Amino acid sequence: MENVIIASNLTYKYGDLVAVDHISFEVKKGEIIGFLGPNGAGKTTTFNMLVGLLKPMEGSAKILGMDVLTEIKQIHKRIGVCFEYTNLYEEISVLDNLKLFAELFGVKDFDAYKLLKRVGLQGKEKEPVLTLSKGMKQRVMIARALVNTPDVLFLDELTSGLDPVSSEEIRSVILEEKERGATIFLTTHDMYEADKLSDKVAFINQGRIVAFDTPHNLKLKFGKRKVKVLVKGKDESLLEREVALDNEETPRKIFDLFQSETVVTVHSEEATLEDIFIEITGRRLAE
Amino acid sequence: MKAKVIKALAKKDINLFFKNKFFAMITVLGLLVYIVFYFIMPKTANEKLGIGIYSNIDLTRAVELVKRTDTEVILTKSGEDLENIVAKKEVMAGFVIPSDIVDRAKKGETISIELYTPYDIEPELKDAMEYIGKELIYAEFGYGLNIESKNIILGKDLVGKQIPIRDRMVPVFIFLLIITETLGLASVIADEVERKTIYSILVTPATIPDIFVSKGIMGLVTTFIPAFLFVLVTVGFKNFGNLLLLLLFGSIFVISIGFFIGSISKDMMSAIAWGVLFFIILFVPSMNVIAPGSLTEWVRIIPSSFLVDSLHGVINFGDSFKEIYKFLLALFGSAAIFFGVSTVILRRRFQ
């Protein structure tokens, strides 16, 4: 399968601060790559270099076989970008916002109503953007990124600050795009989102990629499986006990628990991406 | 640059400009108010009657006599001072009376007195001034002399073309109409950067030059069209070609100022604050049109003087292309500098 995004030694500095430090990765056609890291890790700087808003100080990147430094306008014709911040034209209507971008991309027979229905904004077409809630604005942002039916989608902190329902609906649109065949570059500090959406996850910390694999492989490689047992305490309160799996002592420890305490529930649990991130970097994602 | 992209961006910019009720209102109201001002101003000029005299000889008696006719008399210390007060229209005319007037009169020579008049004095007033000059000499010396009046016209020789105040104000109104639009243009630019909407455009096939050209088109719509309508109502088709050229170059100049203000402003409020400051500075040269001679040559360092002076010349004196092309070049050059600096600042801000 062809590589749609190829980053080689991408580097960017703000003064003395190295925001992105010689990172390299590849994303295949139709894959979703999740760039996972805490605030200030270098996710948005990488994002901005890939979409042509920042020029890499070292290294290079290719999108759809084209160089971001020399062929960025050709690249822009085939990508959709959704920023972390809401940057819509708030005074004009939802419809006019989308029509503007359809004209900029030269989209023929653009059907804004169909697109807005897809993101759950039917009936809001004529509303000025400034009257919409944050969740609705984010849906308009997604719709705007999809105006040109892009081959590659760049999504920066897609569901940051949104309610769970809006987040879930937006994620389902992204999965539809993957089904269509779009390649998706997603930055997030939400491990649940990265786990749910991404084919591959890159952990970025202090400007460097510290791990890059499928969520499943990362969990196998770095995660520790465990059993979570709820037992009844003396005052009838519930207490939590953890027993690590994949250990010689595991059967005996579980047996002992059943012997010595009143077990209420037993659940096996695999490590989350957050656990693995902490394991690798010593930092939490929410920092 | 792609025409369809620029068209889409310009349509959006114009739409956003008129969505802002404040800017929409000042554009429409400005046009209406200045047209009303023009029509309620007097159609004719009414100048104060007064004369200036420079002479080394004692003219006490003559001055007293003239003053009795309700004519103001100002005695100056030099010929240069006399020229200045005539040019500033503090008096209607100035007389230079030679110190050897009596000796030459005795020899029977014809005496020449210099009469300074402003360029736009009416012929009847000029005749009256010559008469006053002769009466002055008669009053002082008690007998008529063989006097030959030598007229020196200060400024353009436009005898008989006295400019009514409303016509004098037309260039100022045009300038006010178009300079006001810098606020709107600057705000749209500053807003685009502040709200980061510009980034959403930059990740489409639109380029930075496309964005600048579309903003320029929006600027032209909001500056040139109101000024053009105002000219049609007030001036009509007089010297139309030159006037259109000036409106176009003036609009381009003002757009460049709008770009510059937009590039240095953080948000709409700072754009308005900077806009007011630039407005005050750029308005100064207009004072020379309202009250000629009120400012010295230093005012030429303010580039709006090229616009106001040339508008004044074209509208009120029928200046030809030959007379205004230097102003057009100066306006274009100033605009190029402001556009250049703004481009550098804006590129630095969003890249």
CATH topology of domain B49-141: abc type-2 transporter like fold (3.40.1710)
- Inter-chain residue contact B4 with A103, CB threshold 8 Å: yes
Q: Say yes or no to pLDDT of B160 above 80.
A: no
- Considering only CB atoms, A73 lies closest to which of B15, B16, B205, namely B205
Compare all CA atoms of chain A with the CA of B6 and give the residue at the minimum distance: A104
- Inter-chain residue contact B200 with A90, CB threshold 8 Å: no
Hey, is B259 helix, strand or coil?
Answer: helix
- Inter-chain residue contact B12 with A92, CB threshold 8 Å: yes
Hey, is A185 helix, strand or coil?
Answer: strand
- Inter-chain residue contact B5 with A81, CB threshold 8 Å: no
Hey, is A94 helix, strand or coil?
Answer: helix
CATH 3.40.1710.10 domain span(s) along chain B = 49-141
Q: Say yes or no to pLDDT of B319 above 70.
A: yes
Best of A77, A85, A104 to mutate (most B CBs within 10 Å, chain B)? A104
Closest CA to B283 of B263, B298, B303, B297: B303
Residues in B whose CB is inside 8 Å of some CB of A read: 4-5, 7-9, 11-12, 15-16, 19-20, 195-197, 199-207, 351
What is the nearest CA distance from B265 to chain A, expressed in angstroms?
18
**Angle at the Cα of B72 (from B68 to B77), degrees rounded to 5?**
120
Closest CA to B176 of B274, B33, B40: B33
Q: What are phi and psi of B208, to 5 degrees?
A: -60, -45
Cα–Cα distance for residue pair A246/B170, rounded to 1 Å: 91
What is the per-residue pLDDT for A62?
96
Q: What is the pLDDT along chain A (287 residues), one digit of tens a residue?
A: 689 999 999 999 998 899 999 999 999 999 999 998 888 889 999 999 999 999 999 999 999 999 999 999 999 999 999 999 999 999 999 999 999 999 999 999 899 999 999 999 999 999 999 999 988 999 999 999 999 999 999 999 888 777 888 888 889 999 999 999 999 999 988 888 888 899 999 999 999 999 899 988 888 777 777 888 898 887 888 888 888 887 788 889 888 888 888 888 888 877 787 787 887 777 776 65
What residues of chain B lie within 8 A of the CB of A98, using their CB? none
Q: Say yes or no to pLDDT of B159 above 60.
A: no
Across chain B, mean pLDDT equals 83
Closest CA to A208 of A25, A41, A91, A12: A41
What is the per-residue pLDDT for B111?
77
Compare all CA atoms of chain B with the CA of A49 and give the residue at the minimum distance: B351
What are the C-alpha distances in Å from A126 to residues A90, A95, A113, A203? Answer: 12, 6, 11, 41
DSSP letters, B144-156, are ---EEEEEEEESS
Which residues, including other chains, have CB under 8 Å from residue A181's CB and lie 6 or more apart?
A: A29, A30, A151
Own/partner contacts of A18-21, CB < 8 Å, gap of 24 or more, are A18/A207, A19/A45, A19/A207, A20/A45, A20/A46, A20/A49, A20/A207, A21/A206, A21/A207, A21/A208
What residues of chain A lie within 8 A of the CB of B23, using their CB? none
Strand partners, A240: A230
Q: Say yes or no to pLDDT of B119 above 90.
A: no
What residues of chain A lie within 8 A of the CB of B11, using their CB? 100
DSSP letters, A198-261, are -SEEEEEETTEEEEEE-HHHHHHHH---EEEEEEE-TTS-EEEEEEESSSTTHHHHHHHHHHHS
- Inter-chain residue contact A76 with B204, CB threshold 8 Å: yes
Closest CA to B282 of B190, B185, B172, B198: B172
| CB burial of residue B152 (10 Å; 0-12, 13-18, 19+) | middle
| B309-334 mean pLDDT | 91
- Inter-chain residue contact A103 with B7, CB threshold 8 Å: yes
Cα–Cα distance for residue pair B230/B251, rounded to 1 Å: 14
| B184-201 mean pLDDT | 89
Cα–Cα distance for residue pair A225/A276, rounded to 1 Å: 11
Sign of CA dihedral B217, B218, B223, B224: positive
Q: If DSSP states are collapsed to H, E and C, what string results for B35-64?
A: HHHHHHCCCCCCCCCEEEEEECCCCHHHHH
